[in-house]
Amino acid sequence: MKTIHEPHLMQREADELRSAGKRIALVPTMGALHGGHAALIREARTRGDVVVVTLFVNPTQFGEGEDFGRYPRDIDRDVLRVSDAGGDILFAPETTSMYPPGYQTFVDVETLSRRLEGAARPGHFRGVSTVVTKLFNIARPHCAVFGQKDAQQVVVLRRMVRDLDLGIEIIVVPTVREQDGLAMSSRNAYLTPSQRGEAPVLYRSLRKGEDMIRAGERSAEAVVARVTAEITAHSSAVIDYVSVAEAESLDPLPTLSPGTPVLVSLAARFGATRLIDNIHIRL
Ligand code: PAF
């Protein structure tokens, strides 16, 4: 496996691959790789001739007081993980080569970026959309693979690709979970043992919500109340939001109707650690 640090060298490599007729599949990551990332890389392996994995802790998607400084970083371990999962190229740029002095251009997917996670983390998706656009321009992929765990990220990036005519296929891989249902996340490493013991309540509560919907409940308010009650009854988590929304527009859905793709999503804090999870339901 090859590691490239400089954007212009990655661009040159990508251009050569494209000229040789190779299909490039991209997996953007911020490192601290886990089983969820390995699933993305394995999927990319089936979608392209060359799998490029990017590793960059993107400062522009972290707000003030968030965990940019303490985000787990272990490049040696990540290199092994990328190569074990089937990556061909690891692109790991320095912050100064992605955002050199004088940098001032941003991509903002306006409405979608302000909902849910965007309301709780202003500027987050502007940072994500900007860095992903840069990574697309640097690695020149035919397709890019993301996880369903970051459901809103996928919705925002799909919109961005359409709006800017980027011509890159966005592929989504189901959330990979620990045996007890907790969605794999680099941030799980922050949890204390007792928080780790409580955290699976997030997925359990989503499943309770799903069960209600499948049993015929059509009031989003009732579903939100059930999910919220489950979390508060069984953990010390502080809930940021529980939402029932139309899965593509992220419009709130007061009433669920047949045929509508529904995203039930939530964010909650265990101490200083903020976790998200979601479940996608088609009625
Ligand atoms: O999902 C992530 O890890 C990040 O948001 C991404 C897409 C790599 C952009 O920094």
* Active-site residue (options: 5, 37, 142, 234): 37
| Three-state secondary-structure class, residue 32 | coil
Instruction: Spell out which residues line ligand 1, taking CB within 6 angstroms.
Output: 28-30, 58, 61, 128, 131-132, 150, 153
Q: Could you tell me where the DSSP H helices lie in 72-190?
A: 75-85, 95-98, 117-120, 124-139, 151-163
pLDDT at 225: 98
Mean pLDDT over residues 81-97, rounded?
Answer: 97
Cβ neighbours of 165 (radius 10 Å): 7
CATH code at 2-173: 3.40.50.620
What CATH superfamily is the domain 186-282? Pantoate-beta-alanine ligase, C-terminal domain (3.30.1300.10)
Please tell me the residue having the least CA distance from ligand 1 atom 8: 29
Separation of 28 CA from ligand 1 center, angstroms? 6
Q: What number is the average pLDDT over the span 199-212?
A: 98
CA of 277 to the centre of ligand 1 (A): 15
Residue 160's pLDDT is: 98
> What confidence tier does 283 reach under pLDDT thresholds 50, 70, 90?
confident
pLDDT digits (tens, 9 = 90+) for 131-155: 999 999 999 999 999 999 999 999 9
Average pLDDT estimate for 28-50: 98
C-alpha to C-alpha distance for 120 and 176, rounded to whole angstroms? 24
Backbone dihedral region for residue 48 (phi beyond 0: left; psi -120 to 50: alpha; all else: beta): beta
Residue spans of the domains in the chain: they are 2-173, 186-282
Q: What separation in Å is there between the alpha carbon of 186 and the centre of ligand 1? A: 11
- 5 catalytic? Reply is no
